[in-house]
């Protein structure tokens, strides 16, 4: 188990480096390499791991989402996990948050994904086999795609021993511009995706919206029919947004436990986050928002692993 040690300067861990390592100075009272633990609001057995690195900037939102959904959350630096991949075995949920990891050098999420493929592949496969739900949002989705985690193996087949060549891609938006606005989405009720299972496909269009913020969010695949047939297109845009094939907004694996999407459910955790929440009918502003509902569904599913 990774111990939390606030106010202690920790060494930057490079998995392939030996000898003395330079220590980081503590930042805001918490050393840069230490995991930040978020206590759950309610009793829960599910433990969530959120991975971060240089350039990640939506980790706090994702931690908040898991915490509100009832999980106990640890925020851990990618290099720390690369040095000790076995620590992943202690977690029931895994999150890859949004941002601009490593400045999106080379391509969005590419360097983060390369580290995942090199150091964490086998540990993540073990987690998937255990039934651990995983989520990638925006940059996190790009990472899951490029690391080979999504769209996952074909139904009825297992994970390969080594990371596969990605079968879908994420390219620049067809507008060639950064897109930053709220968009309509609709879940596929036939999809096995546990993250979208509690979303109502018949909800008012004004309610079923999520914010997007990306420059390379266009999902490209030459097998949209195959993905749809196997239920792996879990979420679509209600209208053309960025040129994504078949208006795909999110993709899951065949088990429905691994899910990635370009919109940000972590930015829609309260009704007051909605861009025109004061104009929504009071009757729809009850219970969880669509964003929080995704996290709660996964936390409930993860908790079932302990039953």
How does pLDDT run across 127-138, given as a tens digit for each residue? 999 999 999 999
How high is the pLDDT of residue 306? 66
pLDDT band at 304 (very low <50, low <70, confident <90, very high): confident
Between CA 7 and CA 44 the distance in angstroms is: 27
Summary mean pLDDT of the chain? 88
Question: Is the predicted pLDDT of residue 155 greater than 60, yes or no?
Answer: yes
The CA-atom distances, in angstroms, between 168 and each of 109, 113, 152 are: 14, 14, 10
Task: Please say whether the structural domain 36-306 has been given the CATH code 3.40.50.880.
Answer: yes
The packing angle between helices 290-303 and 59-68, to 10°, is 60
Question: Is the predicted pLDDT of residue 207 greater than 70, yes or no?
Answer: yes
Mean pLDDT across the stretch 272-287? 93
Between CA 59 and CA 77 the distance in angstroms is: 11
Question: Is the predicted pLDDT of residue 276 greater than 90, yes or no?
Answer: yes
233: nearest Cα among 252, 256, 257: 252
How high is the pLDDT of residue 307? 56
Question: Is the predicted pLDDT of residue 13 greater than 90, yes or no?
Answer: no
Q: 96 by DSSP, 3-state: which?
A: strand
Q: 59 by DSSP, 3-state: which?
A: helix
Q: 279 by DSSP, 3-state: which?
A: helix
Segment 29-68, tens digit of pLDDT: 333 344 445 444 443 479 999 999 999 999 999 999 999 9
Residue 230 backbone phi and psi in degrees, to 5 = -95, 10
Segment 234-256, tens digit of pLDDT: 999 999 999 999 999 999 999 99
DSSP class of residue 117? Answer: I
**pTM confidence score:** 0.86
Q: Is the peptide bond before 8 cis (omega within 30 degrees of 0)?
A: no
The region of weakest confidence among 42-51, 96-105, 109-118 is 42-51
pLDDT band at 106 (very low <50, low <70, confident <90, very high): confident
Looking at per-residue pLDDT, the higher value among 1 and 76 belongs to: 76
Between CA 134 and CA 150 the distance in angstroms is: 10
Mean pLDDT across the stretch 96-122? 96
Question: Is the predicted pLDDT of residue 21 greater than 60, yes or no?
Answer: no
Ranges of each domain in the chain? 36-306
Mean pLDDT across the stretch 152-175? 96
């Amino acid at each position: 188990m990774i111990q939390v040690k606030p106010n202690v300067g920790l060494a930057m861990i490079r998995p392939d480096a030996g000898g003395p390592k330079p220590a980081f100075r503590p930042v805001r009272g918490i050393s840069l390499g230490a995991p930040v633990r978020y206590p759950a609001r309610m009793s829960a057995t599910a433990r969530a791991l959120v991975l971060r690195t240089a350039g990640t900037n939506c980790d706090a939102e994702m931690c908040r989402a898991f915490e509100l959904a009832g999980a106990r959350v640890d925020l851990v630096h990618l290099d720390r996990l690369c040095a000790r991949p076995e620590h992943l075995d202690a977690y029931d949920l895994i999150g890859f948050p949004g941002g601009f990891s490593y400045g999106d050098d080379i391509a969005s999420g590419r360097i983060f994904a390369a580290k995942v493929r090199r150091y964490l592949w086998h540990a993540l496969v073990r987690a998937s086999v255990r039934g651990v739900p995983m989520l990638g949002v925006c940059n996190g989705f790009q990472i899951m795609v490029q690391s080979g985690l999504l769209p996952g193996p074909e139904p009825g087949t297992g994970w390969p021993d080594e990371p596969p060549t990605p079968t879908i891609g994420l390219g620049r938006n067809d507008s060639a511009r950064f897109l930053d606005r709220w968009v309509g989405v609709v879940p596929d009720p036939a999809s096995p995706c546990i993250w979208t299972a509690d979303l109502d496909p018949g909800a008012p269009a004004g309610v079923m919206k999520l914010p997007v913020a990306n420059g390379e969010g266009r999902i490209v695949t030459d097998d949209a029919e195959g993905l749809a047939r196997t239920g792996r297109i879990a979420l679509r845009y209600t209208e053309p947004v960025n040129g994504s094939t078949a208006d795909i907004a999110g993709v899951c694996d065949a088990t429905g436990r691994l899910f990635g999407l370009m919109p940000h459910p972590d930015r829609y955790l309260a009704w007051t986050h909605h861009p025109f929440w004061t104009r929504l009918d009071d009757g729809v502003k009850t219970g969880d928002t669509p964003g929080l509902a995704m996290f709660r569904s996964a936390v409930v599913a993860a908790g079932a692993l302990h039953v």
